[in-house]
């Protein structure tokens, strides 16, 4: 029987960026699960920590374990339902910051490559024209520094591992990525250099535009 993967528990606190009667905007640390893992020792996660002080807190989207940054959390069923629709209708604006290997030539561009599960190497995904679902990422260069580039990323779709896989597919894997970067690139950073830096959307109850920024720690 395979030994279960035990998540290293992040001791970093969750920052509250916005709070009202319907939702929270929070900063998730890296190495903290969004929801409980399957193994009993992997129950510590963002939503269980928040539910200590906010018993009605509900997840409406996720960030990977290794990704830090801003998330929206519903506090009521009404907000949960409305936020779910906003994500489904792609009315939630999401930006990320990443540091990738190599000098990205174009100042801005798009990566339009279909993504499918790589069943033989789960949880990895793969670019697959035959079975993949459409996936689109827009990018903009923020800075170039020798053998690395800082990018702003806007995922138009929300496929699993989309940003990591898309950047690796064009030859610029994210530093510290243990799934899609070669060993030399993985070793260039102590963590995955990917951070959710901005969310903007109509408030699920009032309809007023809500926008918050969350600068990356790297």
Q: Is 64 an active-site residue?
A: yes
Question: What is the DSSP secondary-structure string of the chain?
Answer: -PPPPPPPPP-PPPEEEEE-SSEEEEEEPTT--SS--SSGGG---HHHHHHHH-TT-EESS---TT-EEEEEEESSHHHHHHHHHHHHTT-SEEEEEEEEES---SSEEEEE--EEE-GGGTT-EEE-TTTPBP-EEEEEEEEEETTEEEEEEEESS--TTHHHHHHHHTT-PBTT-TTTS-HHHHTTSSS--EEEEEEEEE-TTT--EEEEE-----
- Asked whether 204 and 82 are in contact (CB, 8 A), the reply is yes
Separation CA 24–CA 31 (nearest Å): 20
Q: 85, 61, 64, 63: which is closest to 73 by C-alpha?
A: 61
Given 64, 66, 95, 101, the catalytic residue: 64
Catalytic residues: 64
């Amino acid at each position: 029987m395979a030994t279960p993967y035990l998540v290293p528990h992040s001791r970093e606190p969750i920052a509250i960026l916005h709070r009202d009667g319907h939702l929270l905007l929070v900063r998730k640390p890296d190495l903290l699960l969004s929801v409980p893992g399957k193994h009993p020792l992997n129950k510590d996660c963002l939503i269980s920590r928040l539910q200590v002080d906010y018993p009605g807190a509900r997840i409406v989207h996720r960030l990977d374990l290794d990704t830090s940054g801003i998330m929206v959390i519903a506090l009521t069923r009404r907000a949960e339902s409305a936020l779910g629709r906003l994500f489904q209708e792609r009315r939630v604006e999401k930006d990320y910051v990443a540091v990738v290997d190599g000098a990205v030539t174009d100042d801005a561009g798009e990566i339009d490559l279909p993504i499918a599960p790589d069943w033989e190497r789960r949880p990895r995904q793969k670019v697959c024209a035959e079975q993949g679902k459409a996936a689109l990422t827009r990018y903009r260069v923020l800075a170039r520094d020798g053998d690395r580039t800082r990018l702003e990323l806007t995922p138009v779709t929300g496929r699993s591992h989309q940003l990591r896989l898309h950047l690796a597919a064009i030859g610029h894997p994210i530093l510290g990525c243990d799934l899609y970067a070669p060993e030399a690139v993985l070793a260039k950073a102590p963590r995955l250099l990917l951070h959710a830096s901005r969310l903007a959307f109509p408030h699920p109850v009032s309809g007023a535009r809500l926008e918050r920024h969350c600068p990356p720690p790297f």
